[in-house]
Amino acid sequence: MILIMTVIMISATSIALLATQYHQTAQAYPCVGGSVKEYCTGYHDGAILAYRDFNTEHDLDISQHPCTRNSTDYCNGYNRGYSDEADFLG
């Protein structure tokens, strides 16, 4: 009986450790800490737009809303925010 319980505990621990090793594509809010403000603003705007597309039953596709700002940081955040939100929703 102790052997079976030990095997179950080792298996459960192994599964939990493996699950934490794989990177998730979407992050709840990646702008915590020393991130650039423009990136975070873009991330927020992109996520909001994806949420609106989802709620209005439009396709979740960033190509229908290209970034028009002249800021690389903003556009990178915008694209990532849209993509992350689309991952969460769809």
pLDDT tens string for the chain (90 positions)? 776 656 566 655 555 544 444 444 555 556 655 568 888 899 899 999 999 998 888 788 888 889 999 988 899 989 999 998 998 887
Confidence at residue 90, expressed as pLDDT on a 0 to 100 scale = 74
Confidence at residue 48, expressed as pLDDT on a 0 to 100 scale = 92
Structural tokens at position 85: 């939100």
Domain ranges of the chain: 28-89
> How much is the pTM?
0.62
* Angle, alpha carbons 39-85-37 (nearest 5°): 15
First to last CA, the chain: 44
Confidence at residue 89, expressed as pLDDT on a 0 to 100 scale = 84
